[in-house]
Structure 1
């Protein structure tokens, strides 16, 4: 059943859908009155709804039943990615959303090949957020992860005060055979606590960046014995979190 995130909730009995989602329902999915969809509120509640009315500008759907099940991870995982080149960040956002990330924070790292253009920031972040929304709909999430505008490493460190645990995925730790920090961190985490994990761009983080992060409460960890690409490492970490909290228990 097709899923739509609704920006506002005016009633417990029905939803009014407009804009791109209305166009998708009518023009892409070719739905009609009587068809059912799932509507998700801004606070993460979802309801099976039946389309009641279709106009040129909106779709009105009546609530059939509210769902109790949630498909969210029991902990909040934030992915901080050193700006990679090409469309790698789009892949991280899309697949990371499918795997349960709640937020993405790109940052400019010393080895980032891409130079952030603040003049194009609005359109770029808007596209990233759209990718997250579409991936959340496809994977039947209850929330759409937020995507931040890229920050500096120092700004990232300031933002990190908001999170319960802070890790650095560092390839040198993987080479050294470190295998306990991520596991130990997940074992300590309680429901609704948050975990920020920092990943470097192509070429990884510099020793100076790792030192600065470590001095500000981050722990360096390995992600298994193999060296992973910048777009693979966040997906590995999210899969490990899902296994620990959703499959192992």
Structure 2
């Protein structure tokens, strides 16, 4: 069943309103008419099954039929910190990461970042990313839309590590047989002595096409991040975050793991 996110002020006690692009999509694409039903969420705590009362390309008014439980969110809040990749790769990370269950996204600058950051394009890019996250959250029947933070500098990212319960730094050297640990070992070490109902805030840090420098790895570890590998193969930057997120949600029991 089709799902839409609406602003809190559009979600009333007995009815909701779809406006703008959402109303246009419902009427022109989904062919919604009075009597049709779909699901709406305010992206926070309220989700409802609604029935269309009035339908126009710029406004849909729908009556709330039933309030639904919002139980589609993972119990682990995993934020993907992605060094800004070139082209439209960040769009893929946001789209697929949202579908899988990412809590938020933090694009950042790293030493080997290939793309040239253009501040003039920031607002347009953030708007595009926000739309992609919203559409992906609707498709995946999420109860919330992941937040997308403005581009962070490396120093800003390092300072933010203290805001998380666990920060994992995806470093290709850790994936080689002769080096460190993987995600399962890092998660297991963090959970030692904690209860199973812990709801950790996890930061998953992924490098750009050129990977991370040794200096960045040292600084990340000094800031409190745990260096982890994603296997003995070298993954593309747009693949690494998706793989890491999936591993974490599997370990959380979201996909039958823990």
The TM-score, its normalising length taken from structure 2, stands at 0.91
Equivalent residue number for residue 247 of structure 2: 240
- Mapped to 2, the partners of 1:64 and 1:57 lie a distance apart of 22
Equivalent residue number for residue 40 of structure 1: 41
Equivalent residue number for residue 169 of structure 1: 170
Contact 1:178 1:221 in 2 (8 A): no
Q: SS of 2:8's equivalent?
A: coil
Tell me how far 1:161 sits from its aligned partner. 2.3
Q: SS of 1:231's equivalent?
A: helix
Matched, 1:78 2:87: no
Equivalent residue number for residue 4 of structure 2: 4
Q: SS of 1:202's equivalent?
A: coil
Tell me how far 1:248 sits from its aligned partner. 2.1
Equivalent residue number for residue 30 of structure 2: 29
Equivalent residue number for residue 49 of structure 1: 50
Moved more, 169-178 or 81-90: 169-178
Aligned residues: 249
Provide, for residues 147-170 of structure 1, a one-character-per-residue CA deviation record: whole Å limited to 9, x for no partner: 112111101112222211111000
- Mapped to 1, the partners of 2:187 and 2:26 lie a distance apart of 40
RMSD: 1.6
Q: SS of 2:237's equivalent?
A: coil
The TM-score, its normalising length taken from structure 1, stands at 0.94
Structure 2 residue ranges without an equivalent (≥5): none
Counterpart of 2:232 (choices 219, 225, 230) is 225
1:67-146 equivalences in 2 (<5 Å): 67-146=68-147
- Mapped to 1, the partners of 2:57 and 2:182 lie a distance apart of 55
Provide closer, same or farther for how the CA distance between residues 213 and 120 of structure 1 changes in structure 2, counting only shifts above 3 A. Answer: same
Tell me how far 1:36 sits from its aligned partner. 0.5
1:183-202 equivalences in 2 (<5 Å): 183-187=184-188, 188=191, 190-202=197-209
